[in-house]
């Protein structure tokens, strides 16, 4: 992760609220697509509808400047997974409920399935692929998972880890219940919460030891 | 006790053990924590098309009219798959060489007579999902609604609607027993028939109690009447347990393509071997011509054990369109096709002695099966209840009823969980009424040593080879400080605090473990369980049993 990259003030979009998300979709012109509405397949978001052009933008992803063509209604999860090859970010529900798609935007956890890509220009996007150092040294929270053998199927894992990393940046010494509260936006269907919390608490400990925060 | 506090017994599992009792990271973990682990939707193939499904808008109906020409003419639409494109399902052969004939009434990947709302009717492959979804809308299709039933009791009523044209229950014809030394014959193919109860049966419903008409299956052990007659307390409870979706976090997304006559299928599974066999049967192909890729699976809980029939949709679409096809399944679609634990409606009459010992137990369950292949939950619930509560006398009656609701499947502790949920509530109530401790009443009823299990078959009952639940209760109560906790005042200001005792069992140990290695002509030894791990790390909870 490279903190030295400069962010141009005029590129920063203020907040990515539900209101802004919907406004953005409307601007894209396909929110009322009867296909998406009828079938409720929000997964159709992000693919080029007939007659709507793409727009080349630059994103700061995992410390790198990435040029990518996006349509206006494209979600960040789609861009990351299908355009930038960053498939570590998972789509579990595609409707802001499960948290499997969580990434950090300027160090804050967001559901990338519910963030429009064009609203995050200028923000620092961090995904699970960008956590470890270039030499392969794992982030302390990733190492916490290894140490405690957290998770089972792990489809939710990258979302949990990103939420924990975001939370621990501002709460470096949480109690177990505080961390549980901090991770309450993420679901684990394997119901492995006890071990996940243990792993994340170990991650917090690792972070403190490494003076990561 | 959190996992970090548990330490392996180094004395018992000393240096000669490499894995048991040792802490070591599993080899899959590094790929998972770095995001490099590839689940089915994480693969990309050049020229990959996307597929969308047309789902039934009715609970039961028949396609009266279908015209796909407008959709096929749309730019970007490459192929449309319907029931007519599906191969006939193949027979299967068991490890013992017995042929199981394909059932024409079994579930299909696509159907022109949908039996539940959300059942896939046809599939479209296009250059992207948006185009595929637009094409679905352009399809001219009309359904003829047919009678439907979503509650088992509705269809059991006299004159009630049938969920299928043929009836509302599966009928399994009597199996011809082979003579000693002879190979078992193929079991007869089950068919769907009709089961209706009488108006007299439904009188009970007016009193808020579950009616109990003719049950499909029944078994009895011991003297039930004597057990109730001598009981100090008899509870007769009507209950309902919920249908619960498997809801795997990874949907049933599947990618398929063909190379050199072989089909490559990327999908999630709990057992590669069992899923390969299923794909071969559904595609009516030699298993050697199928390459199943399942590097990681995002949860199964029983619903991905033998694969899922919808995986053949992208495989067949890919052949038709001559391009790789990705079928992404949305969360909503997953609710329809992703299986669920069957809910029970039932009635449980239990007699307790003064000390809490169960003297008689009369169990009646109706299992909501959905429209297709029968689940075994009703049967298993009786077996597990007989095992865990060791009633002196017990009768079990069960009926599995078809409905126009999403198909059910085995979910962690299938059947057992429903039975335990019902019994735990009743046992707790009995403890309160008899003034007994919640742990003690469970200890006095739980299996120990070679306790018997289930019905009498061929003159004998199965039994445990070992059971240590009493010790588990003692250790659990000690660690939980049960006695101290329940002695504390329950009310503190505006807060009311309670302690609860509950136990659960996974019916894995009864028959799964001993079959874990199977032999097949022409195959090397294969682990028939395969990568049976996703979401199922609870083996430690099993009670070893012998069949």
Q: Do A91 and B128 touch (CB under 8 A)?
A: no
- Check if A34 contacts B (Cβ < 8 Å): yes
Fold match flag (A17-92+107-127 vs A140-209): no
Domain positions in chain A are 17-92+107-127, 140-209
Chain B residues with CB under 8 Å of A41 CB are 52, 129, 133, 330, 332-333
User: According to CATH, what is the number of the domain A17-92+107-127?
Assistant: 3.10.20
So what's the ipTM on this one? 0.86
Q: Which of B5, B31, B33 to mutate to test the interface with A (most CBs of A within 10 A)?
A: B33
CA angle A68, A72, A78 (to 5 degrees): 60
- Check if A88 contacts B (Cβ < 8 Å): yes
- Check if B27 contacts A (Cβ < 8 Å): no
Q: Do B2 and A187 touch (CB under 8 A)?
A: no
**CA–CA gap between residue B92 and residue B81 (Å, rounded):** 25
Q: Do A153 and B4 touch (CB under 8 A)?
A: no
**CA–CA gap between residue B52 and residue A27 (Å, rounded):** 26
A 10 A CB-CB count for A58 gives 12
To 10 degrees, what angle do helices A193-209 and A157-170 make?
Answer: 40
Q: Do B137 and A38 touch (CB under 8 A)?
A: yes
Q: What is the CA radius of gyration of chain B?
A: 26
Q: Do B35 and A198 touch (CB under 8 A)?
A: no
- Check if B30 contacts A (Cβ < 8 Å): yes
Scanning B428-467 for CB atoms below 8 A from A yields none
Q: Which pLDDT score is estimated for B223?
A: 97
Q: What is the largest CA-CA distance in chain B?
A: 78
Give me the tens of pLDDT residue by residue for chain A, a chain 213 residues long.
344 434 344 444 445 565 665 555 554 443 333 333 333 344 444 455 544 556 899 999 999 999 999 998 899 999 999 999 999 999 999 999 999 999 999 999 999 999 999 999 999 999 999 999 999 999 999 999 999 988 999 999 999 999 999 999 999 999 999 999 999 999 999 999 999 999 999 999 999 998 754
- Check if A145 contacts B (Cβ < 8 Å): yes
Residue of B nearest to A38 (CA): B137
Q: Which two tokens stand for residue B436?
A: 């007994």
- Say which residues have a Cβ less than 8 Å from residue B536's Cβ, sequence separation at least 6: A152, B270, B300, B301, B412
Q: Which pLDDT score is estimated for B416?
A: 92
- Check if B131 contacts A (Cβ < 8 Å): yes
**A140-209 CATH fold:** DNA polymerase; domain 1 (1.10.150)
Q: Do A155 and B131 touch (CB under 8 A)?
A: no
Where do the domains of chain B lie, and which CATH numbers do they carry?
202-245+340-507 (3.30.365.10)
A 10 A CB-CB count for B479 gives 9
A 10 A CB-CB count for B368 gives 26
- Say which residues have a Cβ less than 8 Å from residue B526's Cβ, sequence separation at least 6: B273, B517, B518, B520
- Check if A125 contacts B (Cβ < 8 Å): no
**CA–CA gap between residue B435 and residue B356 (Å, rounded):** 9
Question: Which residue numbers in chain B have pLDDT < 70?
Answer: 1-12, 504-547
Chain A residues with CB under 8 Å of B304 CB are none
Shortest alpha-carbon distance between residue B370 and chain A (Å):
23
- Say which residues have a Cβ less than 8 Å from residue B545's Cβ, sequence separation at least 6: B387, B453, B462, B463, B464, B465, B509, B510
Q: Which two tokens stand for residue A150?
A: 């957290």
Give the three-class secondary structure for B360: strand
Q: Which pLDDT score is estimated for B345?
A: 96
Q: Do A35 and B41 touch (CB under 8 A)?
A: no
Shortest alpha-carbon distance between residue B14 and chain A (Å):
21
Phi-psi region of A75 (alpha: psi -120 to 50; beta: other; left: phi over 0): beta
Shortest alpha-carbon distance between residue A67 and chain B (Å):
20
Q: Do A88 and B137 touch (CB under 8 A)?
A: no
Q: What is the pLDDT of residues B6-26, one digit of tens each?
A: 455 556 677 778 777 777 788
- Check if B348 contacts A (Cβ < 8 Å): no
- Check if B114 contacts A (Cβ < 8 Å): no
Hunting for tokens 């445990």 — which residue is that?
A: B464
Q: Do A194 and B3 touch (CB under 8 A)?
A: yes
- Check if B219 contacts A (Cβ < 8 Å): no
């Amino acid at each position: 992760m490279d903190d030295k990259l400069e962010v141009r003030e005029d590129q920063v979009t203020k907040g990515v609220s539900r209101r802004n998300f919907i406004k953005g979709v409307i601007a894209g012109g396909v929110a009322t697509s009867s296909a998406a509405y009828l079938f409720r397949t929000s997964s159709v978001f992000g693919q080029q509808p007939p007659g709507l052009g793409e727009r080349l933008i630059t994103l700061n992803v995992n410390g790198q400047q990435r040029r990518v063509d996006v349509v206006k209604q494209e979600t960040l999860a789609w861009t990351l997974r299908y355009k930038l090859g960053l498939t570590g970010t998972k789509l579990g529900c595609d409707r802001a409920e499960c948290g499997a798609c969580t990434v950090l935007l300027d160090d804050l956890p967001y559901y990338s399935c519910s963030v429009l890509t064009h609203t995050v220009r200028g923000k620092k996007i961090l995904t699970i692929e960008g956590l470890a150092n270039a030499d392969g040294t794992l982030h302390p929270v990733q190492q916490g998972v290894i140490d405690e053998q957290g998770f089972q199927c792990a489809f939710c894992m990258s979302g949990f880890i990103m939420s924990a990393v975001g939370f621990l940046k501002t709460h470096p010494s949480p109690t177990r219940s505080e961390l549980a509260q901090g991770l309450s936006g993420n679901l684990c269907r394997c119901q492995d919460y006890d071990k996940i919390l243990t792993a994340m608490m170990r991650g917090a400990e690792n972070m403190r030891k490494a003076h990561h925060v | 006790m959190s996992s970090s506090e548990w330490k392996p017994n180094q004395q018992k599992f000393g240096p000669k053990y490499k894995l048991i009792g040792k802490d070591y990271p599993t080899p899959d973990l590094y790929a998972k924590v770095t995001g490099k682990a590839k689940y089915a939707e994480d693969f990309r193939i050049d020229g990959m098309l996307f597929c969308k499904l047309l789902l039934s808008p009715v609970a039961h109906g028949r396609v009266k009219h279908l015209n796909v020409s407008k959709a096929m003419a749309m730019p970007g639409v490459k192929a449309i798959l319907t029931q007519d494109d599906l191969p006939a399902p193949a027979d299967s052969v068991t490890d013992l060489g017995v042929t199981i004939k394909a059932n024409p009434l079994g579930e299909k990947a696509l159907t022109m007579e949908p039996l539940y709302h959300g059942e896939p009717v046809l599939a479209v492959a296009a250059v992207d999902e948006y185009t595929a979804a637009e094409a679905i809308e352009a399809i001219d299709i009309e359904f003829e609604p047919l009678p439907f039933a979503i509650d088992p009791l509705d269809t059991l009523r006299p004159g009630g609607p049938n969920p299928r044209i043929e009836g509302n229950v599966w009928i399994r014809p009597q199996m011809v027993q082979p003579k000693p030394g002879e190979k078992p014959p193929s079991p007869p193919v089950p068919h769907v028939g009709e089961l209706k109860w009488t108006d007299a049966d439904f009188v009970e419903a007016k009193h808020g109690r579950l009616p109990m008409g003719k049950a499909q299956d029944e078994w009895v052990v011991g003297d039930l009447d004597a057990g109730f007659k001598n009981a100090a307390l008899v509870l007769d409870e009507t209950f309902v347990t919920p249908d619960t979706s498997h809801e795997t976090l990874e949907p049933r997304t599947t990618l398929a393509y063909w190379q050199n006559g072989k089909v490559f299928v990327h999908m999630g599974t709990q057992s590669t071997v069992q899923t390969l066999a299923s794909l071969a049967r559904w595609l009516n192909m030699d298993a050697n011509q199928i390459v199943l890729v399942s590097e990681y699976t995002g949860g199964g809980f029983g619903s991905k054990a033998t694969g899922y029939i919808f995986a053949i949709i992208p495989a067949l679409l890919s052949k038709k369109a001559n391009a790789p096809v990705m079928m992404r399944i949305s969360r909503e679609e997953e609710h329809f096709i992703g299986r669920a634990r069957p809910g029970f409606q039932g009635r449980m009459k239990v007699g307790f002695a003064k000390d809490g010992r169960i003297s008689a137990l009369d169990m009646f369950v109706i299992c909501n099966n959905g429209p297709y292949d029968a689940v075994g939950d009703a049967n298993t619930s009786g077996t597990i209840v007989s095992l865990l509560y060791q009633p002196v006398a017990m009768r079990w009656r069960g009926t599995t009823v078809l409905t126009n609701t999403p198909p059910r499947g085995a979910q962690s502790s299938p059947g057992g969980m429903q039975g335990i949920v019902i019994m735990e509530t009743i046992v707790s109530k009995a403890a309160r009424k008899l003034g007994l401790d919640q742990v003690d009443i469970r200890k006095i009823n739980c299996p120990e040593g070679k306790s018997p299990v289930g019905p009498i078959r061929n003159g004998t009952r199965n039994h445990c080879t070992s059971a240590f639940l009493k010790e588990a209760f003692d250790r659990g109560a000690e660690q939980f400080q049960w006695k101290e906790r329940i002695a504390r005042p329950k009310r503190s200001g505006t807060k009311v605090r309670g302690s609860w005792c509950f136990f659960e069992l996974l019916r894995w140990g009864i028959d799964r473990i001993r079959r874990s290695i199977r032999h097949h002509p022409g195959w090397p030894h294969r682990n028939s369980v395969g990568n049976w791990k996703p979401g199922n790390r609870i083996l430690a909870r099993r009670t070893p049993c012998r069949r």
